[in-house]
């Protein structure tokens, strides 16, 4: 009902929504992406090791870190190949380093059970269509050529909700993205992060907050329908708190505590699929 009302009122509210969106974009602090490596290898139990493959020769690394993709893990240790793909939240905007972000906490958690080979492909402002374009580019293609992934965690949708794109066209782009990932890694577990409840973010003024809240709810509802029809896909069971200490300085991106919680929820779903219960 509310979503139908939002569509009905859009022609009337559009000028005000545009002004509020431009005002918000102007005043909201622009935080940088988290610094640090965006790919690496972490041996089982070595939760501190995180290295950038392109600069291996330039680093003084712990002995527990393998320095070549051809290095074999210790006998009996399974390697899990992880891809984190997405927007500014995936890139760690809101914290200073990747160790404080989703990638750092998730790889540390998984390394309690596996040797983790991980890659982060993310950029602030990416929509789902932008992501498809980047995946076709040489830079990201180079990462994809390193091999198939066992798990792919996606963080996309917020920038789509905040754009004029219809939910139908967004779902079409999402299905194309899932198809491309499935072609690259046929056996991968695909975990999609739900769009946060934008209607609860106080950084948005009214009526913009109400409108994007209705949009985010509709996007999530329709996304669940797509995922239900896709083998090997799951929607992450994630509800991040929206208190002041759970958000970054811009009142929009996650804080370190929220990245930690996000990583823990994702790790639990990844491990549960492999028969490992919560410790």
CATH number at residue 211: 3.40.50.1110
Domain-located, residue 175: yes
Pick from 38-42, 56-60, 166-170: least confident: 56-60
Domain-located, residue 279: no
Q: pTM of the entire structure? A: 0.86
Range of the domain at 103: 2-273
Domain-located, residue 49: yes
Q: How confident is the model at residue 6 (pLDDT cuts 50, 70, 90)?
A: low
CA 34 to chain centroid, in Å, comes to 13
Split into its structural domains, the chain has a count of 1
In sequence order, the 6+-apart residues with CB closer than 8 A to the CB of 188 are: 83, 148, 149, 150, 151, 152, 181, 182, 232
On whether the CB atoms of residues 203 and 24 are closer than 8 A, the answer is yes
Domain-located, residue 278: no
Domain-located, residue 33: yes
Domain-located, residue 224: yes
Residue with the bigger pLDDT between 252 and 26: it is 252
Domain-located, residue 60: yes
Pick from 45-49, 148-152, 196-200: least confident: 45-49
């Amino acid at each position: 009902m509310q979503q139908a009302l939002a569509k009905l009122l859009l022609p009337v509210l559009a000028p005000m929504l545009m002004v509020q969106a431009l005002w918000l974009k102007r005043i909201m602090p622009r935080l940088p992406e988290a610094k640090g490596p965006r790919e690496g290898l972490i041996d089982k139990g070595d939760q501190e090791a995180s290295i950038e493959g392109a600069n291996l020769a330039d680093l003084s690394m712990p002995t527990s870190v393998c320095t070549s993709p051809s290095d074999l893990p210790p006998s009996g240790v399974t390697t899990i190949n992880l891809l984190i793909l997405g927007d500014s939240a995936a890139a760690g905007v809101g914290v200073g380093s990747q160790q404080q972000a989703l990638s750092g906490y998730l790889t540390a958690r998984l390394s309690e059970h596996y040797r983790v080979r991980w890659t982060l492909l993310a950029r602030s402002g990416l929509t789902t269509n932008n992501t498809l374009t980047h995946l076709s580019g040489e830079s990201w293609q180079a990462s994809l050529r390193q091999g198939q992934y066992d798990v792919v965690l996606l963080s996309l949708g917020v920038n789509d909700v905040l754009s004029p794109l219809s939910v139908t066209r967004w779902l079409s782009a999402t299905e194309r993205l899932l198809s491309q990932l499935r072609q690259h890694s046929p056996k991968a577990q695909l975990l999609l992060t739900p769009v946060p409840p934008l209607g609860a973010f106080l950084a948005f003024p009214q009526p913009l907050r109400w409108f994007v809240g209705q949009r985010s709810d509709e996007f999530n509802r329709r996304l669940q329908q797509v995922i239900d029809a896709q083998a090997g896909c799951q929607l992450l069971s994630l509800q991040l708190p929206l208190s002041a200490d759970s958000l970054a300085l811009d009142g929009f991106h996650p804080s370190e505590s929220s990245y930690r919680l996000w990583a823990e929820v994702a790790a639990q779903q990844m491990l549960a699929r492999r028969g490992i219960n919560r410790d």
